Amino acid sequence: MRNLLSSPPRLMTRAWETERKTIHRTTLVMGVAGLALIVVGALSGVPFPFCLWGMIVVIAAVVIRASGGRRLDLWLHGTEMLAEALPGKSWTLSWSLNGRGYSRQTSQMPLLWVDGRVRILVDRSQPSRMTPLGVEMLPFPESEEAAPIVEPALPPRPRKSSPLVLTEARQRRTLAVVAFVSVLVVACLVTPFVRDRQRFLAEAVETGRGTVTGRTSSMVEYQFDGSRRIFEARGKSQARWPVGATVRVYRHQGLVVAETELPGMPLTLGMVFMGLPILAAVGILASAVAEARRAQRLWRFGKEVPAELISDQTRNQRREVICQFSSAGLSGVTRREFAATRRLLEGARGELVVLVDPRNPNESRVMLADEA
């Protein structure tokens, strides 16, 4: 395995300083906010919610500060190794050092893969301390040397617009259409229930509130207008109705109806059911438009540079590659995920091809063979 980082101890890079400042500022703001909540709770006479949330925020700030400090320390002094990875709700990474095995879960994405294993940084003095090697940790020295002479694999710039680079954009557009169709289906299903609730409330009259007097395994008993009545409540829903709580009571066509017995669905809940798919569809459609514009812009005006593959993983018929490039003053890392059946575009010498925006090297795209 070729190490991507130099041997420890390493120099503090600009990315390291940026992450250190971000951790410091974030934890400082969280700590001040937590202390403010505690003070508000102490002065307001209702300490329970404010002080509780204040303590939670302060503890979260301490945890983030400690874990961030360990990550920064490993960034500078950790030894680069490979770990076995097992999928689950989060990746479980296993490694061994000095004949002893260790494991830990991580939610960091993306991970850097080599032959089915993940690159990690381990503290040799405390082998249980580990952090996955992140893309932001990789050094990208600005090269002042002339770009290596390679035979171009793509037409010269500016290239004509090509529909071949819009595969991902079309997939997202299709997903947006599916989301909009799901909105119509949900609206057709939800609207009758919302109308039933609105019709009932228009005809019913709220006559007061009853007081909960007892509960059984499936019923809640309450007293209203001098008589005892019950309504059904099972499982966790009973927690809403402790003894002494009040419940709204309506009269409808001569019948007494508790608020839990109202027919249909509340308007707010119906709006949530319909609004979430709409927001999802709009977001997907916006990402599709952005991806199409970015792909076409890079295809027409992007500079072709050779790249080195530093991570390659295939899972669930999807392939994720991460490439590093450094040529003629343009350096960086680019990531792309695509169907496993598609192939990467290679130059005459077998090098991978990346298109980079000369004005903004952060805008780059790994090219596939069927897009050329």
Of 130, 108, 133, 105, nearest to 118 (Cα)? 133
Q: Centre a 10 Å sphere on the Cβ of residue 299 and count the other Cβ atoms it contains.
A: 24
In this predicted structure, what is the pLDDT of residue 22? Answer: 95
Query: What average pLDDT score do residues 330-342 get?
Result: 89
The pTM of the full predicted model, rounded to 2 decimals, is 0.69
In this predicted structure, what is the pLDDT of residue 150? Answer: 60
Whether 328 and 146 have beta carbons less than 8 Å apart is answered as yes
In this predicted structure, what is the pLDDT of residue 330? Answer: 81
DSSP per residue, 84-96: EEE-SSSEEEEEE
pLDDT digits (tens, 9 = 90+) for 231-278: 888 777 777 788 888 888 998 888 888 888 888 888 888 888 888 888
- Distance (Å, whole) CA 252 – CA 197: 12
pLDDT digits (tens, 9 = 90+) for 139-153: 865 544 455 556 788
State CA 125 to chain mean position distance. Answer: 33
Q: How far apart, in Å, are the Cα atoms of 102 and each of 76, 93, 368? A: 21, 8, 38
Amino acid at 138: L
166's CB contacts (< 8 A; 6+ apart) are 292, 295, 296
Whether 43 and 51 have beta carbons less than 8 Å apart is answered as no
343: confidence class by pLDDT, cuts 50, 70, 90:
very high
In this predicted structure, what is the pLDDT of residue 23? Answer: 96
Query: What average pLDDT score do residues 130-147 get?
Result: 73
Of 212, 238, 234, nearest to 223 (Cα)? 212
- Distance (Å, whole) CA 369 – CA 164: 10
- Say what percent of the chain tops pLDDT 70: 96
Q: Is the pLDDT assigned to residue 285 strictly greater than 60?
A: yes
Whether the bond between 358 and the residue before it is cis, its omega within 30 degrees of 0, is no
pLDDT digits (tens, 9 = 90+) for 30-76: 999 999 999 988 887 767 788 889 999 999 999 999 999 999 999 99
In this predicted structure, what is the pLDDT of residue 138? Answer: 87
Burial (0-12, 13-18, 19+ Cβ within 10 Å), 127: middle
In this predicted structure, what is the pLDDT of residue 144? Answer: 46
In this predicted structure, what is the pLDDT of residue 141? Answer: 57
- Helix then strand then coil, in percent of the chain rounded to 5, is 40, 35, 25
